[in-house]
Structure 1
Amino acid sequence: MEGVFYEPLLTWGLRGFLALLFATAAISKLTAMEEFHGVVRNFRLLPDAASRAVAMVLPVVELAVAAGLMITALAVPAAWAGAGLLALFGVAIAINVMRGRTQIDCGCFRNGLKQQISWLMVGRNLVLTGLALAIAGLLPVTGGGGIADLLVGLIAGAVFMLLYFSASMLGGIAARQNQTLSPKGR
């Protein structure tokens, strides 16, 4: 790949999207720490004492990943860390789906946006992990770009985040409607 340079606009868009994703998730967890501790505990993958520690540390790590993605010198290690977190979240969700525990909340976002876990969510995390890995792989072979690349890329990342968040909200609404309409929900 020597001599090949990729468009910096693409990497800024991906970096902006993932940074917003991690920052939004972290802030929503920090504003509802007790609720998030309950979500971590409800996954039943850690002892109670460890679940509290994870609930306290995870949002801080997510904020660090978000900040690192925006600092060019830290973006590659932040992308690797983000990929690791997303893969870990996917594994935790998959374990609970295999256990038949699909009624639990994923804990992705707080503030009333509860989402039940499913194989679709595992697939979503796989795609997000792939995006983080793409950033880690593309950044070393991406041209420097200018301020226009940065600004347009960040705007594109924000638009991607709005689309992602909207799709998540619509999925949550559809799931709640299906629960209400199903014989179990009555």
Structure 2
Amino acid sequence: MDELILFLRVMLGTLFISAAVTKIGDLEKYTLIIKEYKILPEFTLYLFVRFKLVAEITTGVFILVGLYLPFMYLIACFLMLLYTLAITINLLRGRREISCGCGGMAGNHQLSWTLTIRNLAIFFGCYWLYLSSTDWGSLDALFSGQRDHFFHLEVLQVILISMLTLIMGTMSKLLFALHKQIKNLKETLK
């Protein structure tokens, strides 16, 4: 069970970090996406976007390295509920044409009920991690003197498997995008 928890922890941490990094790369575009949701007053957008990015990157890094895990899982749950609520509000308003603004590994998609279900699945995954929390492979374990929970061959194996899974997922996403571009190019050349 510790292996599965560590695997999911690496995935979750990487998901949050990749999302934040993507948004930081084009902060102006991301701010416009949040504005399109038409939930927050315009004067709060600047502060909200920066606060959310700090929360995402901090949560992702702390989950990835294993610091303050129970608290970080609760923050991840809160963020996932926040995203789900914003998407649901806009879907109920009939607004499907805007980008979700997810970024990173999650990608950017137009709003849909599928995104709501995906976000709820991630929320329940975060909550399960909170309930099943282990310090296996975490800095919390190292700092509390449980070196065998940190310096363990199985910990390294799970981290390597997690990273390979992430790389394979990213490569398949890139190959799918390349396939679409080639297909579009063929159609325009006809």
Shorter-chain TM-score bucket reads 0.7 to 0.9
Work out the CA distance in 2 between the residues paired with 1:49 and 1:169.
Answer: 37
Q: Give the structure-1-normalised TM-score.
A: 0.77
Work out the CA distance in 2 between the residues paired with 1:88 and 1:10.
Answer: 26
- Contact persistence 2:14–2:64 (CA under 8 A): no
Q: In the alignment, does 2:167 pair up with 1:158? A: no
Work out the CA distance in 2 between the residues paired with 1:160 and 1:54.
Answer: 32
Residues 7-43 of structure 1: per-residue CA shift (max 9 Å, x gap): 2111110110000000000001111110110011110
Work out the CA distance in 2 between the residues paired with 1:56 and 1:155.
Answer: 32
Point out the more displaced range, 47-56 or 145-154.
Answer: 145-154
2:128 matched residue in structure 1: 134
Pair 1:61–1:104, CA change in 2 (3 A): same
Work out the CA distance in 2 between the residues paired with 1:168 and 1:128.
Answer: 19
1:28 matched residue in structure 2: 22
How far did residue 135 of structure 1 move?
A: 0.9
| Correspondences of 1:47-58 after superposition (within 5 Å) | 47-58=41-52
How far did residue 96 of structure 1 move?
A: 0.6
Work out the CA distance in 1 between the residues paired with 2:154 and 2:81.
Answer: 29
| Correspondences of 1:104-143 after superposition (within 5 Å) | 104-109=98-103, 114-140=108-134
Pair 1:124–1:159, CA change in 2 (3 A): farther
In structure 2, give the amino acid aligned to 1:28: T
1:147 matched residue in structure 2: 152
Question: Mind listing any 5+ residue stretches in structure 1 that lack a counterpart?
Answer: 1-6, 174-186
- Contact persistence 1:97–1:118 (CA under 8 A): yes
Point out the more displaced range, 24-33 or 48-57.
Answer: 48-57
2:89 matched residue in structure 1: 95
The match for 1:63 among 47, 50, 57 is 57
Residues 37-83 of structure 1: per-residue CA shift (max 9 Å, x gap): 00111101100011221111211111110122134341111111001
Point out the more displaced range, 152-161 or 30-39.
Answer: 152-161
In structure 2, give the amino acid aligned to 1:123: I
- Contact persistence 1:105–1:116 (CA under 8 A): yes
In structure 2, give the amino acid aligned to 1:155: L
Work out the CA distance in 2 between the residues paired with 1:11 and 1:130.
Answer: 13
- Contact persistence 2:100–2:111 (CA under 8 A): yes
Question: Mind listing any 5+ residue stretches in structure 2 that lack a counterpart?
Answer: 137-147, 179-190
1:179 matched residue in structure 2: none
Q: How many residues align?
A: 168
In structure 1, give the amino acid aligned to 2:64: M
How far did residue 150 of structure 1 move?
A: 2.1
**What's the C-alpha RMSD, in Å, of the aligned pairs?**
3.0
Pair 1:72–1:56, CA change in 2 (3 A): closer
Pair 1:153–1:35, CA change in 2 (3 A): same
Name the structure, 1 or 2, with higher relative contact order (CA <8 Å, separation 6+).
1
Pair 1:119–1:170, CA change in 2 (3 A): farther
